[in-house]
Amino acid sequence: MENSSDNRKVVLTCAQPTGKLHLGNYLGALKNWVSLIEGNECYFGVVDMHAITIPYVPADLRKNVYDCVAQYIACGMDPQKCNLFLQSSIVGHTELAWVLGCICPLGQLERMTQFKDKSRKHAEAINSGLLYYPVLMASDILIYNADIVPVGEDQKQHIELTRDLAQKFNFTYSDTFKVPEPYIPESGARIMSLQSPESKMSKSDPNQAGTLYITDKPDALRKKIMSAVTDSDSEVRFAPGEKPGVSNLMCIMAAFTGESMEQIQADFAGKGYGYFKKAVADVVVEGLTPVRERYEQVVADKSLIEEALKRGNEAAQRRADKIMSKVYRKVGFLKI
């Protein structure tokens, strides 16, 4: 089975181009992705084909691709050290998805949690793409034969399907794909909404005061943090069940400073929430200002983004071609 030519491990992860990235994306995913770049062969995909399964505006999708890549680069994904690629530019993703779909039981797709959730939210626009989405995701992963697949907790079910399809293909046609292992780092911070701390931070939060974006200006970050929901007590103590708002702010501070909850609790003993929130705002502003400044620089230069994608697309296509030539041969397709 295919591996990287220089024996580095192959890392593959993808995200939809859905506008601005928030602090949860940055601390829970992107910082971990960036940490994998040194010593590995990394492919970071912008999966624009997945973005059309729900109602959208084509012009916004194109803009969001540029935005997404600019934010990736700003967060530390150096296009000279990793491969940033655009899913729709690579020949093979949909071709492999068709082959995998022909060995995927329909019932498995109908049981997918995300299909059921999205069907409820978009009842007026349930399409076949929503159902088939996990097969295309499996194709996105298997076409690069990755060793490491960083994913969020909510993607575990999709990775299980990917593993099932890899094993089924290998059993049916002979060993071809690595059976991917999900990489869910323990240190991946789970950041909650500042206004509804029982829910994850989300760009679709109806109350946008609960979401910190990595491109927010310092004043906006401070305002949102200072108005974060806490509780009637004034003790800075880590107790997610009892004090979800304060515990969330402590998680945010710990993610930027590396301090333990015990250290933070000791540092702010008897100082009250106002003082604590100001300190959290200070570390967030300090941590995100270089990211925002780099983003503003990159997003203003379309040619830089296009050059990064061109380089990454070429590397991704080379790897995809190797896998697809094996797949086509094994399933019996003629090459004429």
- How far is residue 136's CA from residue 115's CA, in Å, rounded to a whole number? 13
For the record, the structure tokens of 302 come out as 């379309």
For the record, the structure tokens of 147 come out as 């060793």
Active-site residue, 118 included: yes
Give the ranges where 258-301 is alpha helix by DSSP (H): 261-267, 272-299
Residue 144 CB neighbours (<10 A): 29
Q: Of residues 200, 271, 310, 330, which has the active-site annotation?
A: 200
Three-class SS of residue 251? Answer: helix
Which of 143, 156, 150, 142 lies closest to 114, judged by CA? 156
E runs forming strands in the chain: 9-15, 40-46, 83-86, 148-150, 181-183
Active-site residue, 31 included: no
Q: Contact at 8 Å (CB) between 180 and 141?
A: yes
- How far is residue 24's CA from residue 214's CA, in Å, rounded to a whole number? 9
Residue 44 CB neighbours (<10 A): 25
Q: At what angle do helices 58-74 and 302-331 cross, to 10 degrees?
A: 100
Q: What is the spatial order of strands in the sheet that 148-150 belongs to?
A: 83-86, 40-46, 9-15, 148-150, 181-183
For the record, the structure tokens of 59 come out as 């012009």
Which of 86, 85, 68 lies closest to 25, judged by CA? 68
Q: Of residues 9, 203, 271, 322, which has the active-site annotation?
A: 203
Active-site residue, 326 included: no
How many CA atoms, within 13 angstroms, populate the side-chain half-sphere of residue 284? 33
Which of 235, 218, 252, 334 lies closest to 24, judged by CA? 252
Three-class SS of residue 149? Answer: strand
Q: Of residues 31, 118, 178, 277, which has the active-site annotation?
A: 118
Active site residues: 118, 200, 203
